[in-house]
Structure 1
Amino acid sequence: MPHLRLFSLLLLLLAGALAARAQPKTPADFGYRHLTMRYQGDTVNILVLSKKGEELKRKPVFLFVQGSMPQPVIMYDEKGAFPLLPFDTDTLLTRYHLVEISKPGIPVVAHTRTLTPSYAYLDPKTGQVPLAYCQRNYLEYYVARDAAVLRYLTHQPWVRADDITAMGHSEGSNVVARLARHPGPLRRVVYLSGSPLGRMLTVISGNRQEADSAGAENNFAYWKQVVASPKENNCLGDTHLLVSSLSSTQTPLDDFLHSKIPVFVGYGTRDRSALLEDYMRLEMIRAGKTNLTFRAYPELEHNFMGFTNGVVDQKKWNWDRVAHDFFTWMKSTK
């Protein structure tokens, strides 16, 4: 009988362990606060990372705007959670609360085994991006939603409402450029590896740099289709709705011509949009704009990696260097 009781106890412990393992992870499991707000009838998920013990301390806010992929904010594997940002956040968290807004229709937290090799989330039933995501995946939605989140944050007692920074890289840079034009409570913007004259010109510029004339012609033909039906949204890849919103006549260059808050512009000189960034810099000088600070990083590509023998070398990671530059700049724009 004692052996039977011991065996039963072991079964209970095993069942408890398996049940705990099966429990879905939450942001709190990784040290994040999970806030929600309503916007246009949807629930917007806002994740906040703070220095331990200072979660409710009143501090400035650093908002990171995600790029183009339908990725969860928190991705993890057996080793733990992936870093939220591509640079060390210890210094950032000493001074700021870090905030990121989840993509619409995408889980806030996900194990990498549920994602594609590029860490994108697809609906397990359809094998496509969720409908809620593709319906909202365009510039104007993100700008309006993020502006609403900024207003929401200003009412939180732990937020220094007069010191909010937004950083966007790649597609996220388009969002912060538009926010810089209509900043509301936003104090400053960090614009990295953007497409200052719109996405399509950046894509075609890449074709030219790669001597891909056929690719350029295909993209001109595709652009004709986008212009003919700019609101088309079939939820397959980059939709006409998304591309037209990122390639409209109101470009980041135009946004910055109308901006008044401080802007940090950073880009690698071997990014396919580098020449376009240089052109924007010329136009800002022509217009007498003094609120933009430009940093060109020689021989770095879109993600601020270097090259070895002409090939991108992921070991030559320069994000901490770039972050040091814009954090130094941020201190000078108090």
Structure 2
Amino acid sequence: MKKHLILIILKLQVLIILLPFSGFNQISPLQKGFKAYSIKHAEDTIDFFIYNPKNLDKKNLFIHISGSWPAPLWIETDPCCVTADPFSYNLIPEDYAYVVISKYKFPFSEKEDFNIPDGYWKKNTLDFRVNRTNEVIKYIQQNLFKPEKIVLVGTSQGTDVAAKLATLNKDVTHLGFWAGGGLPQLMEFILFARKEAIAGKITEKEATDKIDSLLVQFEKMFADPSPDKMWDENSYLSYVSFSEPPVENLLKLDIPIFVAIGTKDENVAIENSYIIPVQFIRHQKKNLTFRHYPNYDHSFYEKLPNGEEMDRFDDVTKEFISWLEKK
């Protein structure tokens, strides 16, 4: 499933911007309207960036927690340039400080042939990402301003991070959970094998054989959750650490939650997301807004009957902002 991740991100979730110059120039945060901050530790430097090109005072915080793709925030291409951040910054209300956080040891920008930093897979765990984001919130509260609202929006793997962080940091006021499932990530492989069988792409025997093989692989990973062993372009350690069912963390929350998923998501089976509203109904919790968008994929591109694709990420963002202003 994840073997297509980079292609999917580049094709569907990436914003390409042409600048007045060409060539592989290094991209600075200031060029993109961001101010850079760093939290330095002996074994980690957390680099985060606040979008504020007009230098306005802020009263609220909006943090985007990105997915699993190990990459810099911007990639230096010719013509310039590519980012994995799908948000249109002009849609974020000006009283919100929009924040993005670099992945471990990644700079703000790098060339297309970038390498994954040494030690990255050792750090790419759920708790590590949760703790880094939590530190950014505390730094902003203690050193920059005290937000009235703290909004987390996790996309893809970032949904796991956002859901768990919201249970730990009681200052978080709103949660966006976009393109994520309620069950452990490993369930996706099984669900997609079943979907292939139902669609007639493989036989029932082939599906059961495939699932048996997956279960053996999962056992191997849990028996030895090593950052040095890889499977389907991710480490054993990462898979094991991200095996907590996000729905369990979501159910612990009483803050407003906005779940968004596309019915044609090719990374997260829509069936995996329906467990969320079902469990909220079961527990009689009323703080969930659940949106399932017909024919939207993992990056909220709508697949039209004529084969064309329409980018609907901004539409989801606008709906979320409208929801946010009412909560």
Whole-angstrom distance in 1 between the partners of 2:87 and 2:46: 26
Moved more, 63-72 or 236-245: 236-245
CA contact (8 A) 1:170 1:193 kept: yes
> Are 2:253 and 1:253 equivalent residues in the alignment?
no
Which residue does the alignment assign to 1:208? 194
* Aligned counterpart in structure 2 of residue 328 of structure 1, from 303, 313, 322: 322
C-alpha separation between the residues in 1 aligned to 2:118 and 2:218?
24
- 1:29-61 residue CA offsets vs partner (Å, 9 max, x unmatched): 33321100124631110111114242xx13312
Aligned residues: 292
Partner of 2:132: 145
Distance 2:41 2:283 in 1: 37
Deviation at 1:85, TM superposition (A): 3.3
1:199 touches 1:243 (CA, 8 Å); kept in 2?
yes
The CA deviation at 1:218 is 2.6
Rate the CA distance shift 1:52–1:78 in 2: closer, same or farther, 3 A.
Answer: farther
Aligned partner (choices 273, 284, 287) of residue 280 of structure 2: 284
Q: Distance in 2 between matches of 1:267 and 1:190?
A: 11
Deviations 1:192-231 (A, max 9, x none): 11121110112211121122514433322211111222x3
Shift of 1:308: 4.3
Any stretches of 5+ residues in structure 1 without a counterpart? 1-20, 115-120, 123-128
TM value normalised by structure 1: 0.80
Write the distance in 1 (CA, Å) between the matches of 2:28 and 2:88. Answer: 23
State the match for 2:110 in structure 1: 110
Letter in 1 for 2:300: F
1:175 aligns with 2:161: yes
The code of the aligned residue for 1:297 comes to Y
Distance 1:26 1:235, change over 3 A: farther
| 2:294 matched residue in structure 1 | 298
The verdict on how the C-alpha distance between 1:87 and 1:43 changes in structure 2, with shifts beyond 3 A counting, is closer
Q: 1:93 to 1:51 in 2, by over 3 A?
A: farther
Aligned partner of 2:6 in structure 1 is none
Provide the residue aligned with 1:38 in structure 2: 40
Instruction: Give the deviation of 1:282 after TM superposition.
Output: 0.8
2:53 and 2:31 mapped to 1: Cα distance?
Answer: 15
8 A contact 1:30–1:81 mirrored in 2: no
Please identify, of 79-88 and 200-209, the stretch whose mean Cα deviation from structure 2 is larger: 79-88
- CA distance in structure 2 between the partners assigned to 1:68 and 1:138 by the alignment: 10
SS at match of 1:210: helix
Give per-residue Cα distances to partners, 1:233-274, cap 9 Å, x unaligned: 2164311111011113xx111001111221110101222421
Contact 1:74–1:81 (8 Å) recurs in 2:
yes
| Corresponding position of 1:126 | none
**Which structure is higher in RCO with an 8 Å CA cutoff and minimum separation 6?**
2
Instruction: State the Cα RMSD in Å.
Output: 2.2
Q: Percent of counterpart pairs with the same letter?
A: 24
Unaligned runs of 5+ in 2: 1-22
CA contact (8 A) 1:51 1:97 kept: no
Report the CA distance shift for 1:173/1:307 in structure 2 as closer, same or farther (over 3 A): same
The question of whether the paired residues in 2 share the 8 Å contact of 1:75 and 1:81 is answered with yes
Residue in structure 1 matched with residue 96 of structure 2 by the alignment: 96
Cα deviation 1:139-185 (Å, max 9, x = unaligned): 1110111111111111233x342211111111111100101222332
TM-score, normalization: structure 2?
0.82
Matches within 5 A, 1:213-228: 213=207, 214-228=209-223
Segments of 4+ in structure 1 off by > 6 A? Answer: none
1:269 touches 1:296 (CA, 8 Å); kept in 2?
yes
- The more displaced of 85-94 and 100-109 is 85-94
